[in-house]
Amino acid sequence: MEKHLHLISNGNFSNQHLPILKEIQHDIDFLHIREKEKTAKQLMDSINSLIGIGFPLSKIIINDRIDVAYMMKCAGVQLAYHSACVSAVKKHFPSMLCGKSVHSVKEAKRAEEEGADFLLYGHIFASNSKPNQVPRGLIALNRLIDSVAIPVYAIGGITPALARDILKCNASGIAIMSGIWEAAQPLQAVKAYRKVLKEARRDRYE
């Protein structure tokens, strides 16, 4: 099975990021627009800007805002703990991909039962975005992956080197934020992650 690379926006998405996204769009599988402070109009403007550079809607996932994802014909939505429940989304928008962010095996099982298409689980390693929270680590990741049958993507403090350990847990891929946005050369960073993902898939079939 192909391993996927999800890129998560960092809350400061603007048109200044468009040149980077145009350059890396072929090397990422999904872009999550995770902009909690933006209005629906601002989110829609951002999506229209992405369309303007040829970024495919089939790769765009919107955090929490089901209405925006639906109106803009994006690939899907990523739900948080405060979002609408997965079952409601799948009932009313059955063709929309529905991911759920989870932090325990119990949450993961519930999301799967409600019809989630995939899960984001973390943070796995120490992360600048969560400096005061203890990372959950690889043992917890492996336990959660074994508890569900749907794809699980790990997030949190993942470097290309650490991604190898993530994939040994049979994760379906990785979700990256600062590892790409804060890289001195984002394109090279993306390619480094992609190389690890490709190697994991090749090793699986050799």
Which residues of the chain form beta strands (DSSP E)? 4-8, 30-33, 60-63, 76-79, 97-102, 118-122, 152-155, 173-176
User: Pairing relation of β-strands 152-155 and 173-176?
Assistant: parallel
Q: What value, to the nearest 5°, has the Cα angle with vertex 121 and ends 176 and 84? A: 105
Which residue, among 23, 3, 37, has the nearest Cα to 190 in the 3D structure?
23
Q: How many CA atoms lie within 13 A of 159 on its CB side?
A: 6
Out of 6, 17, 32, 123, the active site residue is 123
Q: DSSP H helical segments within 13-159, as ranges?
A: 18-24, 40-52, 66-71, 86-92, 105-114, 137-147
CB burial class (10 A; 0-12, 13-18, 19+) of residue 117?
Answer: middle
Give catalytic status of residue 103 as yes or no: no
Read off the tokens for 131: 């400096």
- Angstrom distance (rounded) from CA 121 to CA 166: 11
Which residues does the annotation mark as catalytic? Answer: 123
